[in-house]
Amino acid sequence: MKALAASLLIVLAGCGAMPRDPEGTSEAIARSRQIRVGLVQGDSDFARPAAARLLRRLAHETGARPVLRAGSTETLFKQLERGDLDLVLAPLDPKSPWMIDVTPGPPLAATGQGEARIEYYPVLRNGENRWIMQVERIARTVAESGAEQ
């Protein structure tokens, strides 16, 4: 019985801070008070209001200010993978090969119909689950508030 209790304590101790960010994204944001955000250059005017709402809410909730960096999708996603960015805001095709290398959150905005439809996503580094959950929760709120307007 004592061995079972000891084993249970060991297992529970390992589950203390779930979900976690193995690479420490949430902790780095809290420490630096900055959210490093990549903005994909190009035709994303349709999503600008939703992106601004997301960044305002993230700043309010984390106490960190967004620091913006513009660039191409490929360049920014590579920086995201390396941990040089915390978030990328980008129009993304659901068939993009990047979809397995990054974690897209809920789309913030969309334009067009059918094959011409473009969706604008917050995109995050795979595995940073605490940060992903926080951004996804806020993104859903932002997308819902934008749909009501």
**Domains of the chain and any CATH numbers:** 20-148 (3.40.190.10)
User: Given this model, what pLDDT does residue 69 score?
Assistant: 96
Is residue 68 within 8 Å of residue 10, measured between CB atoms? Answer: no
pLDDT digits (tens, 9 = 90+) for 71-93: 999 999 999 999 999 999 999 87
User: Given this model, what pLDDT does residue 23 score?
Assistant: 87
Answer with the residue of higher pLDDT: 36 or 96: 36
pLDDT greater than 90 at residue 27: yes
Amino acid at 26: S
Round to whole Å and give the CA distance between 102 and 123.
7
Closest Cα partner for 86 from 9, 136, 138, 34? 34
Least confident of 12-21, 26-35, 97-106: 12-21
pTM for the whole thing? 0.83
pLDDT greater than 50 at residue 4: no
Round to whole Å and give the CA distance between 131 and 27.
9
